[in-house]
Amino acid sequence: MSFTLKILGCSSATPTTKAHPSAQILNMEEKLFLIDCGEGTQVQLRKYKVRFSKIDHIFISHLHGDHFFGLIGLVSSFHTLNRGKDLHIYSPKGLKEIIITQLKITKTQLSYYIHFHELKGNEPILIHDDKKLTVTAIPLKHRIKTFGYLFEEKQKERKLNMDAVLNHEVEVCDYRGLKLGKDYTDNNGNVIDNSVFTSNPSAPLKYAYCSDTAYYPEITKWIKGVDLLYHESTFLDELKELAIKTGHSTVKDAVLIAKEAEAKNLLLGHFSARYPNREVFLEEAKLYFNNVEISEKGKDFIYNN
C-alpha cells in the first residue's frame, strides 16, 4: 500500500510568481483528493499534469482567500470540460453561498451537480467512507472556523499462504473466510489455526492535513500515529508572538504536535513570504525532529509500507 502527496502550493497569504498558496493533491487508493484550492490551483494542476476528471472530492480547510480563491475557476473549468460526474466539496459553512452566488451572477448553469458538505462542531466528524478509506474532518484553532483532514486507509484482508492452502487442499470457497481471519476445518473435522494459512496485512496508511492553525495539542489524540503529518509552520520560533496573534504556528509548534501525535514523518508548509530561504525551516525543525521535510511546489512525497 502507498499514497502520494503532490504539493501544488505551500505559501501563506498572497501568491507571487514564485510562490503559490495552499493546494495539494493526495493520491490514495488510486483516488485523487484536492486539499485546499488557493488562487491559481487549476494552472498548477495543468502544469503538473494532474487529471481533472479524477477529482471528485475537494476539501477546503477554511474561508481565508489563500485557501479557496482558486475554487470558482476550477468549478467553472469542470463545466467547460463538460463534466458529468457529481462533485463533493467539504468546508466550513459559507462556501456554498459564495460559489452559488458567483455562478448565479455569471448566469452559469453547471453541467454537473455539486454536493456541498458544510462542517461544524468542535469534535472530529467522519465525512467520507468508502470501501477503501475514510476521511475525518478535525477542528483546528484559527481566527475563523477551520478544519484539518485525516485520510485513513481501511485494514486490508489477511494474505493467503498459497503453499499451505494447496498443501491442505483448501477449496476456493473457503479462501474468503481465511482472508477474514477464520480458522479452517478440514474434511476430517480438524480445526486448523488461521495463522497456518495467512499472514498479517500491511498496516493501513494515514495522512493528516493541519493548516491553518495555532498550536493546538488537542488534535494529537485524533491523529495519533499518522504516517505523514502536514502541519503549517508559517513562522520560525523567533516570531512566536506574531504566530499567537495571527492564529498560526511556528516550526517548533509543528514539531511539538508531531512528537505528541507520534507522527512517523512531518511535512512543513504554509510558509510566510518574509523567508525567501525556506531551508531555514528545515534547519530549525531538525533541531527537534529527525523525520521532517519542507513542502516544495511540484514535489511528490511518497509513503508506503
212 in active site: no
Helix axes 279-286, 251-260, angle to 10 degrees: 50
Write a three-state SS string for the chain.
Answer: CEEEEEEEECECCCCCCCCCECEEEEEECCEEEEEEECCCHHHHHHHCCCCHHHEEEEECCCCCHHHCCCHHHHHHHHHHCCCCCCEEEEEECCHHHHHHHHHHHCCCCCCCCEEEEEECCCCCEEEEECCCEEEEEEECCCCCCCEEEEEEECCCCCEECHHHHHHCCCCHHHHHHHHCCCCEECCCCCEECHHHCEECCCCCCEEEEECCCCCCHHHHHCCCCCCEEEEECCECHHHHHHHHHHCCCEHHHHHHHHHHCCCCCEEEECECCCCCCCHHHHHHHHCCCCCEEECCCCCEEEEEC
Cα gap 24→30, rounded to integer Å: 15
Looking at residue 99, its amino acid is: I
Given the residues 66, 212, 227, 253, select the one marked as catalytic.
66
Catalytic residue numbers read 66
